[in-house]
Structure 1
Amino acid sequence: MSTLLEINKVSAFQGAQQVFSNLDLKIEQGEKIAILGPNGAGKSTLLKLLNREIYPVVEEGSFVKINGSETVKVDELRQEIGFVSHDLQASYNVVSSALEVVVSGFVGAIGLLYQHYPLEDDHYQQAQQRLESLGLAHLAERKFHHLSTGQQRRVLLARAMIHQPKTLVLDEPTAGLDVSAAFALLDQLSALCAEGRGIVLCTHHVEEIIPDIERVILLREGKILADGPKREVLSEALLSELYSVPLTLSEHSGYYQLRRAE
């Protein structure tokens, strides 16, 4: 199995705020991983290291390798990894249609307005097929900002799948969704996992961890609190430490739920 992401002794900042110091982490291709932690733990910063939105501090012996390379090109990265995040969702302008959002994934753009991209009819046909595969074909011509939050998130999932990537990376995938939309999205993620894709799911909600997830990383204040098989890491003791509150954990049909301990 080849390595998707290797982080070695990395320090990283978001603006003036240091998020990581001497961070080590390795994720293999095809792994199904959840990165769990409270707000401010460093989850989004970790994803920005992966998608090359930010870079680590240059230090001796420190590196971030993606697919074994420290110098992977962003356009090549788009072929291998599909990203879905709230930041991406908020970036689309009010005139983009759902179909245009998906098509824009071919060129890594945020919409197609006022730009001349080398797109052909085949690109639009593939985008339409991707919408159809997620049950969204009827929304193709609807303006993105007229869709519900759940529909927007699923359109972004279609965009992430446009290159048939080996790995999907999702940041708080059900944030802002109602119960029905959240479960619909999680079901679609499970179906994509069943096709053999890797998944990296960042969340602060244990309820988002689909049964397909095999490994869980607990991240707190920029440090890895625990990393290992899901059933070992998702314990009441570790989760209580992670969130700094006494918690009880229950599991049903592969899904987990947290409650405050009495």
Structure 2
Amino acid sequence: MQHPQLLDIRNATVFRDNKKVFDRFSLAVEQGQSTAIIGPNGAGKSTLLKLLTRELYPVVKEDSWVRILGQDRPVLWELREKIGLVSADLQQGFVPEVSGLGVVVSGLHNSIGLFHYQQVTEAQLEQGRTVLQELGVAELVNRPYRQMSTGQQRRCLLGRALIHRPDHLILDEPTSGLDLNATYHYLDVIRQLAQQGKTILLATHHIHEIPPEIQRVVFMTNGEIVADGAKEQLLTDARLSELFAMPLKVSFSQGFYQVLPARA
């Protein structure tokens, strides 16, 4: 039995803040096909992910659609049980007083904190404690969100994304703002999730964020896909230099790619 595609975008025209970002944009991602979306700031990476999370919608046209898991109009609550999200927008908008446990459990209520009108059960709290334990941050259970480091906040938000045990994860610039130790610790967690069979859709301009388990990369610039293929074919000096409009030198070690400015 063939599974529906995780994402099927066809001829989408999308506006964001009254600016046209996509004009007849198309992209398909299969379930299980972990993919990195790479491009400079302003390329349209975040807009693409917001289509997937239904924060943005395309202009309605006969030959255009955005299908998620085979559905043109997925039920948002069901969608959020199948697809987890971690993004900078989510991190910045979270209620600062909520505890680490509250951050994780809020994923069950699709909220940016826990509030008095929500009915939180002991079973849900136990779910949250389990996720924090699995992510190695059980000590954050009672710590207020505002007192956490950026890396600790990001780990709790990952727990929020995982509490439904989704098959797919969307990560928007996942290590942005993290120090070196937190970056590689976070990447270790992402690798484990990919090895467990979760589909990772990663949007980034940091090449070192791409774990070895992601084999497909898509290059975007100015709202268009300019290349799509295997890492070995695209993560090269010439291709990345062209994408970022500057001379770059690529190195490879232990499954990861690194990029530095090329010396004259």
TM class, shorter-length: over 0.9
Tell me the secondary structure at the aligned position of residue 211 of structure 2.
coil
Alpha-carbon distance in 2 for matches of 1:246, 1:94: 41
Gaps of 5+ in 1: none
Q: Secondary structure at the match of 1:132?
A: helix
Structure 2, unmatched stretches of 5+, are: none
Match of 1:191 in 2: 192
Equivalent of 1:40 in 39, 42, 53? 42
TM value normalised by structure 1: 0.98
Q: Which runs of 4+ in 1 moved over 6 A?
A: none
After the TM superposition, which of the residue ranges 88-97 and 37-46 deviates more from structure 2?
A: 88-97
Partner-residue secondary structure (3-state), 1:202: strand
Match of 2:128 in 1: 127
Aligned length: 261
Partner SS for 2:229: strand
| Between 249-258 and 117-126, the greater mean CA deviation after superposition | 117-126
Q: Identity, % of aligned pairs?
A: 47
Alignment pair present for 1:136 and 2:137: yes
**Cα displacement (A) at 1:246:** 1.4
Corresponding position of 1:15:
17
Q: Which residues of 2 match residues 79-228 of structure 1 at below 5 A? A: 79-114=81-116, 116-228=117-229
What's the offset of the Cα at 1:13?
1.0
What one-letter code is carried by the residue in structure 1 that aligns with 2:31?
A: Q
| Equivalent position of 2:233 in the other structure | 232
Superposed displacement of residue 41, structure 1: 0.3
Secondary structure at 1:164 match in 2:
coil
* Matched residue type, 1:65: R
Which secondary structure state, in structure 2, belongs to the residue aligned with residue 245 of structure 1?
coil
Pick which of 233-242 and 81-90 moved more.
233-242
Q: Report the alpha carbon displacement of residue 117 of structure 1 after superposing the two structures with TM.
A: 2.2
Residue 75 of structure 2, aligned match among 61, 69, 73: 73
SS at match of 2:6: strand
How many Å separate the matches in 1 of 2:235 and 2:96? 41
Q: CA deviation at 1:60?
A: 2.0
Report the TM-score when normalising by structure 2: 0.97
What aligned pairs does 1:25-36 form with structure 2 within 5 A after superposition? Answer: 25-36=27-38
Match of residue 60 from structure 1: 62
SS in 2 for 1:59: coil
Contact 1:96-1:113 at 8 Å conserved across structures: no
